[in-house]
Structure formats: structure tokens, C-alpha cells
Copies of this chain bind each other. A is one copy, B any other.
Amino acid sequence: MEIVRIGGADAFSMRALGGRLDVDPTAFYRHFRTKNELLDALADILIEGDEPLPATGDARADLRASLHQLRRSLLRHPTMAAVILRRPPGGRAYWARANHALGLLRGMGLSPEEATALYQTLLFYCLGHVLSEARAVAAAVARDRRPGTPTSTFNPPAHQLPDLAAAVPFLRSDTLVQFDTGLDLIMRAAPA
């Protein structure tokens, strides 16, 4: 993760990893069949995070907390998150989170079918949001490494696109409250 953090996502190579750990790059193949398998293992660690799944009495609050937790865990290593999100889902931590969230939704009185639909909607939203944030951070890292590229910082060509221009002031720079706002919007579909 250190390699990815300072060198960008593309810097994560077996040779770089071997160099960092003072070990021959091919030694990892004694423990992982392929580089992708190694990435899956890292994904599991990242998705798990270091905090326990929230379990106060309030199911609604717990669910939101759990999703915020997932976002935080992934964004702790943003460039790694961008790498990981392109792998198919799976891993112990992933399924544990799914089970936990579904239990909370059932506890809120939703049928299994309703709970599943709402959970998937929430999950996909989180995925998309975190992916976007991770991409932005990864781009910033790449810019740091190779200064001279356009700063951009999200400047759509507002010219000729009036509705887009009107929205620009509300594109929050604080992505945490932006994330929370969207979460709130979706959670409205659940009973109080």
C-alpha cells in the first residue's frame, strides 16, 4: 500500500514489492498463484478495515455508520481502492458486511426482498461514490508525481451548458457531506 500511495496505482508491481521487502520478486508466487490473487487478499484487508461493525440499537444509524465505515476504509488508501474496485467482489470481509447490512434492514421491518433491493442500491451508490473519489485522488497523486499536467480540479466546460453551470456552485468540495447527502436520499425509501 505504501508503494501505491507514493507511486500511484501503476507502480504496484511484483518487482517493486520485492524491492520494498528486500526479497526476490518471484518469491510471492510461493504464496499467491497470481498477482490478482494477491490483490484480492489486499482487497479483503482494506474492506474489512480496523473498526468493528457498528451495533448500537439503532438499525438505521448502524447501517449508515457501516457504509461510512466502508467508505473510510477504502479511502484510507485511495489509489489502492481504485485498483481494488476493478476486481470482482468477494472475500470474507465483503460478505460479512453484506450480511450485517441485510440483517439491519430486516430489523427495520423490511421483507427479504425489499431489504435486498435497498441494500444493493445503497451498495452500488457507495461503490460509485468511492470510485469517483478514489479516481480523483489517484489523478491528484499522478499530478504530484509529474507536475505540469493541467490542474483541472473539476472544471467542466460550463460554456453552452447552462444547467451544468448552475449546478457547479453546489458541487461540494467536502465529499463526506456529499456522500452523506446521497445516502440520506436513498434511505428515505426505507420506513422510519
Contacts and interface: CB of A to CB of B under 8 A. Distances in A.
Contacts of A192: none
A3 to B, nearest CB: 18
Given A117-B181, A185-B118, A95 B164 contact: yes
B189 A139 contact: no
Interface stretch (A22-30, A47-55, A85-93): A85-93
Which bracket fits the contact residues of A?
Answer: 35 or more
Contact of A116 (B88, B103, B135, B167): B167
B118 A127 contact: no
A12 interface: no
Interface string A108-122: 000011011111110
A19 interface: no
Interface in A89-143: 89, 92, 95-96, 98-100, 102-103, 106, 112-113, 115-121, 123-129, 131-132, 135-136, 138-139
Contacts of A171: 116, 120
7 contacts: A88-B139, A95-B156, A112-B170, A119-B167, A124-B182, A127-B128, A186-B186
Given A106-B163, A125-B128, 16 more contacts: A85-B86, A95-B164, A98-B161, A98-B167, A99-B163, A99-B164, A102-B164, A112-B169, A113-B170, A116-B167, A116-B171, A121-B181, A121-B185, A125-B125, A125-B186, A188-B189
